[in-house]
Amino acid sequence: MDKKDGCCSTQLIDGDGEFNVVGIDNFMKEVKLAECGLSYAVVSIMGPQSSGKSTLLNHLFKTNFVEMDAFKGRSQTTKGIWMAHCAGIEPCTLVMDLEGTDGRERGEDDTAFEKQSSLFALAVSDIVLINMWCHDIGREQAANKPLLKTVFQVMMRLFSPRKTTLLFVIRDKTRTPLENLEPVLREDIQKIWDSVPKPQAHIETPLSEFFNVEVTALNSFEEKEEQFREQVANLRQRFSHSIEPGGLAGDRRAVVPASGFSFSAQQIWKIIKENKDLDLPAHKVMVATVRCEEISNEKYAAFTANEEWCRLETEVQSHPVPGFGKMLSSILATRLSEYDAEATFFDEGVRMAKRKVLEEKLLQLVQPTYQSMLGHVRSQAMEKFKEMFDNALNGGKGFAVAASECSESCLVQFNERCKDAAIEQANWDSSKVKDKFRRDVDAHIAAIRAAKLAELTTLYEKKLNEALSGPVESLLDGASDDTWPAIRKLLNRETEAAVSGASAALSGFKMDEEARNNILSKLKDYATGVVETKAKEEAGRVLSRMKERFSTMFSHDSDSMPRVWTGNEDIKGITKTARLSSLKILSVMAAIRLGNEADNIAKILTLALLDGKSASAGNKSITTFDPLASSTWDEIPSPKTLITPVQCKSLWRQFTTETEYTVTQAINAQEASKRSNDWLPPPWAILALVVLGFNEFMTLLRNPFYLAFLFVAFLLLKALWVQLDIAGEFRNGALPGIISLSTKIVPTIMDILRRLAEEGAAQPTANPQRPNSSGRPSSKKSRSGGETSSSASSEVGSSESNAEFH
């Protein structure tokens, strides 16, 4: 590429027909052609070799094409096709200098390259200058006629040719006025056009459909240089704003945008070189396709490298970004508008198709980020809903009201956040995310509803359990005829209270009647179940309860005082009463009676286990039917049976066996008590002793010494009686009493003698008498003696009282 005197030029196609891709790309960058859009024009020049084409262009457009040196002879100067930028003319104008025709250097190949270059010039140029000599006008064998034929012939190879302006430049004008030359030239042009073979579709097509024909004349550069320069300057004015309406190329068609000129020219030359028909509309679409694809890729790459987009993409991965939709829409709009600006002059169909592809690619790129943003919005809205819902419930609002208000409020906020995240360019339907949010809200409400209902049910079940378990256990423990009526009354009262409270609490849930009744029914069933479970537990402990009841009734009197078996108690009657009371427990525990139906379980048990035994014992010869030989009770369903008749019989047998020992112990204690109370001799023996021992008794009365001895002996024997608890020892029988006393009597006697010896030894060691303040000796000895006597008397009194107690 050459740059001289402010003019930039390059060889577009060399003499061998090779297209200079690098050169044209550098040329376009240098002149900033891509920024021109459609506001540019291409001018080319054709004409015989050495006809002054380059000289005309250099003077007309201030270019720097190489000119022929007349002093070196006439020879080929321009090889191939050169291109230069015309400085100082608006719009941007590109000038192509074509190799001259009819040159001796190419020989026979001249025609082929001439047609190729002419077709190329017509395909890419808006204005074609036809450089011709003035003296050739009107001549049949003029040098310009082959050139015109070539131009018109190659025009037929363009399926839909551009409307090109043919500006005939008449060189070395003579004295003949231009007004006289132009009609002749136009007539010759029309004849050539009529003679050129045409496709069937263009047989009747006029020349004006393909070309705008303009004619101008210039004086000789060598002979009248000043006039030549002046005429060229005037001609230059016509190229200013040439593409505007009324300009030289004001009605041009099928213009390739400037950014696609290089590729378009390259493809056109390639098709021409391959000797193919040049379909300009298809070529235009092809150029637009390639160029729009390039622009699209550039904008896609620019978007992916955009710092703001990268920041948004990174931030959205961790948290929602406020204003996400607007920011991303702005970035997308910027890239799409840039694409529109650069591709605006290409074929509309191609441009819009590639724009749609670009938009789809960009939206496909940002969609995961958009989905992440919606996910954050949904999660945040869900957390907000949970918080609002919990606060509303904790604030005392009804469940249904709180659920409705909170869900509506959060759904409105969610929709607003979705709109904020929406991308203007994308028509994405966020209804799926909204539906997912609604499902999440409904699922959370359902879960909380279930939890609250379960909590409510658990609360009232706990209340029922507390209100029923203890009282039912107590009532069953004190089994009587009123036990089950009392349990029914308790069950009905507590169940009604629980159902009333639960019904009031359920009113806030706005449940349908069926679901509400179902919960209340389950609550009633639970209350019944608590009673039945407690009854089954107590039934499992019925034997221990019976034994406890028997022990209480048998071992305590009506005042709940422990019984002392003195020999006057009716053990048989007490045993029967206690067993009858224990049998009452068994009859109460035998079945669950929460209904009002009457049964005869107690009667059957009494007849079979108490009265039946007495009858069978009195009359063993009579064989009777056993009412307990069954696994069910009459009028009692199996699920309500706790203890079957057979089990009752077995339990009673075990009960009587285990309580038999208690009765035996009571009988033994009673007999022992009787024996201990009958230790005195019979009355007749006492009378005999009085009669036979009257003389000895009188002897004792006459001799006080014997009487004192007997008194002392009585005291000693009384002390031994108390100390040894002789009455208590003989209570369990004579032999056990004798054995026990034989081990205790000697130590007891030795203890009594030791204490008497200690008291006797204490008197001689007493202190001597001292006079008191009145001059009389103090009688400490007498006091000590008094104290000793008092102590002895106290001991004897205590012994007597103990003896009396026992």
Query: DSSP assignment of 330-347, as one string?
Result: HHHHHHHHHHHHHHTTS-
Report whether pLDDT(2) > 80: no
How far apart CA 759 and CA 787 sit, in angstroms, is 11
- Give me the percent of the chain exceeding a pLDDT of 90: 13
Residue 300 pLDDT level (bands cut at 50, 70, 90): very high
Residue 597 pLDDT level (bands cut at 50, 70, 90): confident
Tokens of 562: 């422990």
More confident residue, 792 or 265: 265
Report whether pLDDT(676) > 70: no
Report whether pLDDT(765) > 60: no
Q: What is the mean pLDDT of residues 509-518?
A: 84
Q: What is the mean pLDDT of residues 395-422?
A: 86
Report whether pLDDT(549) > 80: yes
Tell me the per-residue pLDDT of 125-154, one tens digit each, with 9 for 90 and over. 899 998 888 887 776 555 566 767 777 776
Q: Please compute, for residue 88, the number of CA atoms within 13 A of its CA located in the half-sphere on the CB side.
A: 12
Strand-pair category, 127-133 with 164-171: parallel
**Tokens 């007597």, located at residue:** 800
Residue 370 contacts residue 423 (beta carbons within 8 Å): yes
Residue 771 pLDDT level (bands cut at 50, 70, 90): very low
Q: Which stretch of DSSP H or E encloses residue 4?
A: strand 2-4
Low-confidence winner among 80-84, 513-517, 744-748, 797-801 (lowest mean pLDDT): 797-801
Tokens of 647: 């089990």
More confident residue, 635 or 501: 501
* Highest-confidence segment of 65-79, 528-542, 687-701: 528-542
Q: What is the mean pLDDT of residues 588-595?
A: 86
In whole numbers, what is the pLDDT of the chain averaged over residues? 80
pLDDT of residue 96: 93
Q: What is the mean pLDDT of residues 664-686?
A: 74
Residue type, 176: T
Low-confidence winner among 10-14, 585-589, 609-613 (lowest mean pLDDT): 609-613
Residue 365 pLDDT level (bands cut at 50, 70, 90): very high
Residue 99 contacts residue 80 (beta carbons within 8 Å): yes
- Give me the percent of the chain exceeding a pLDDT of 70: 84
Residue 413 contacts residue 383 (beta carbons within 8 Å): no
Classify residue 648 by burial, with Cβ atoms within 10 Å: 0-12, 13-18, 19+: buried
Q: What is the mean pLDDT of residues 99-112?
A: 61
Report whether pLDDT(94) > 90: yes
pLDDT of residue 230: 92
Residue 218 contacts residue 171 (beta carbons within 8 Å): yes
Q: What is the mean pLDDT of residues 760-783?
A: 48
Report whether pLDDT(95) > 90: yes
Residue 76 pLDDT level (bands cut at 50, 70, 90): low
Q: What is the mean pLDDT of residues 711-726?
A: 79
In three-state secondary structure terms, 44 is strand
Q: What is the mean pLDDT of residues 650-675?
A: 85
How far apart CA 757 and CA 441 sit, in angstroms, is 103
Report whether pLDDT(783) > 60: no
Q: What is the mean pLDDT of residues 292-300?
A: 90
pLDDT of residue 720: 78
Classify residue 118 by burial, with Cβ atoms within 10 Å: 0-12, 13-18, 19+: buried
Sign of CA dihedral 537, 540, 542, 548: negative
Residue 210 is given by DSSP the state T
In three-state secondary structure terms, 22 is helix
Strand order in the sheet with 81-86: 2-4, 7-13, 81-86, 92-98, 40-46, 127-133, 164-171, 211-217
Q: What is the mean pLDDT of residues 357-384?
A: 89
How far apart CA 54 and CA 319 sit, in angstroms, is 68
In three-state secondary structure terms, 167 is strand
pLDDT of residue 398: 83
More confident residue, 672 or 189: 189
Residue 778 pLDDT level (bands cut at 50, 70, 90): very low
CA distances from 715 to 429, 697, 719 (A): 120, 19, 6
Residue 493 pLDDT level (bands cut at 50, 70, 90): very high
Report whether pLDDT(587) > 90: no
Report whether pLDDT(763) > 70: no
CA 178 to chain centre: 90
Report whether pLDDT(312) > 80: yes
Report whether pLDDT(617) > 60: no
Tokens of 284: 């235009």
Report whether pLDDT(109) > 70: no
How far apart CA 324 and CA 369 sit, in angstroms, is 10
Residue 792 pLDDT level (bands cut at 50, 70, 90): very low
**Dihedral, 328, 329, 332, 338 alpha carbons, nearest 10:** -130
Choose among 672, 647, 671, 661: nearest CA to 575: 661
